[in-house]
Structure 1
Amino acid sequence: MSVAYRLSRRAARLALLPAAALLSSFVPQAVGAAQPPRSMAPENAAQRALAQAIRAIGENFNGDIGIAIEDVQTGWTTAYDGDTFFPQQSVSKFWVALTALDKVDKGELSLTAPFTLHRSDITLFHQPIAAQIGANGYTTNIAELMTRALQQSDNTCNDAVLWRAGGPEAVRAFLRTSGISGIRFGPGERKLQSAIAGIEWHQSYASNGGFYKARDALPYSARKAAFERYIANPMDGATPLGVVDALTRLKRGELLSEASTRRLLGIMSHTRTGPQRLKGGLQPGWTLSHKTGTGQVLGGVQAGYNDIGVITGPDGHSYAMAVLIRRSSAPLQQRMAAMQATVRAAIAYHREVEGMDLAGYRGGRDHGGR
């Protein structure tokens, strides 16, 4: 269902506290399950047009899709299926980076202190760094690994950052204390991907095609059952509305220090994955900081095909957006087209209201120039 609303972040953070106290485990609950209040329908023709465009994209898509767009400066937001939890896959690397940089800001983690990765640190799927980890290991630091995790979506790099930042529970704690709602964080790449495949992780799966051999040895019915369980209730799920709220707060400087905010958005502005997802819809003069996510495929169906990010216009005005696809067998071109159409709709909306007093036009919300 399509919904447009204004966010009250203070109310959202207050609502989060009792909910967080009840959390006893991370599955299948969301960190801070309470969602920000939604009270406003579109107030004018431009907002109605954007809400209708997003709804049309969602309704015409061949698959399960969730979309959300938030105006960073005003907080006005519209969404299609914005409260549903969608598999994040590598979008979750964004939360790892936020957690690590929060610890950097607090003096609890160094970006530049060297350490060595060994063959025992290798994970699975996309991990270009694995080729550099020889018999004597590979000496690196958090700054390099975070950059590679976000820009190349390298799983081993992300896993190393995750565990040096305190592991999955540290990420969940960051989400709770930051008042970020509608986000689940899973058990880490190895256990997550193994669970989706219906097997239990063994480190031997990280080499010589071990994971693929173990997965392929399962009866199809067992794989399908595990695959469907994941899609129905993803342990790494996120709502489109929860994602854009966090992106907006990051862009405003509400989550990290100024230096860390600049670093993270700067890294994400050079993401190499998904050049024809959200990025394919940009117009001249617009920029994008984003993170993609791509899940496993079974029987021609993919569990998770995503892109989230912040687009910024030539005038400095920004929009946070998330396009999350839970289940689809649509050709990749159609999935990318839906993402591109979302970006184009936001840019068309911006052009419609460009030059107006945006705060007054959208209800007088004043964010103090943040």
Structure 2
Amino acid sequence: MRRIFVSAILLVFAAGSLHAAGPSEVAGGDRTFWPTPIHSTESFDLASRAELLAFGKALADSEQLDDQALQQRLQIKSFDHASVEHIRAIYWQRLTTNYMLAAAHCDNQQLFCAPVHNQSDFKRAAIAFTAPPQADYRAWFDQASAFHRIYLDELLRLAALFPKVNSEVETFSAQEIDGNGLGDREFLLSFDDGPTRAGGSTDAMLQILRSLHLNATFFTLGGSLQARLQQTSPAAVAATYQGMCVGAHGWEHRSHSTWPAWQDSVTRSIALVHDNLPDSYVPLFRPPYGQRRPDSGAFFAQHGLHVALWNIDSQDWNAKVDADQVKQRVLSLMLLWRHGIILFHDIHTKAQVAVPWLQSQLHDTDVQWLDCHRFSAGA
């Protein structure tokens, strides 16, 4: 029997910072239940409509729970009702927009093509969504229902803890970008936590990207980048990242939400990239764990920086999720959100499997892998 979810490992944070342990379950994808190939714009939209309705159904079902029941389901000690309701409202809006894009060229005789003209229409369609009569899709429906319930809980958990424990689930200011402003079918690849030592997984990932004629934004840790510069040379590291975009991820992997020295961490790590990788440098900062101070917008604006978050988390850092689950999870989320910034980690090897597979699966679907330089210029 295929596994559709895995237990998450606990996140380990620096002492003295306020964090929450990870969710007890993490949604792991399995696209083998989807009965038809995704090899065209039309087949992408068909699969997208199905995922949107399945997630909408999970979202509607969650609204039947009171706060105490949802808090118990999410297994958290604190619960911010207003934040959860705010995120739910955002999701209904995004789901409706995405569904109308996915259904723009279908009719009521086609699968998963309900008549939707506004948010109320979509919500009714999601509430009424049941197992399709076609036998080929029933196994997918069962798998997708479980996947989206668990994935929704990942998101609602972040929302319930926000802003006490902040994350990528919401932005604080215009200096923060999370991928939701991209165009339909536009996706940016991003990688955190590198670089590894010369010849390690960072180099392997860069080689794969070049072989696929893709680029990506790499958010480097200051300490790791400094070690790599000392191991080789600035010229060698610059050549390693040639054609890519490089931002900063802080001097060490420590939450910037309560760290007194967070501003120094930002400026030191940004300066290291700027001074040593001038051709690849982009003025983007990604806070570790997505955690930053709510009032940090003015600081980033003063320094000409944007905070780059994400809206598609591959979970490739999770030791209990294998590369196959990672790639299939990401594809399901690309079908659901239809655009965004995808989070991978170049210090792990799972993206080396996932990225080539995703490109091959979506080759003829009009999906656009954004040029990182174009993205940075428009930030």
TM-score (norm 1): 0.26
Q: Which protein has the bigger strand share?
A: 1
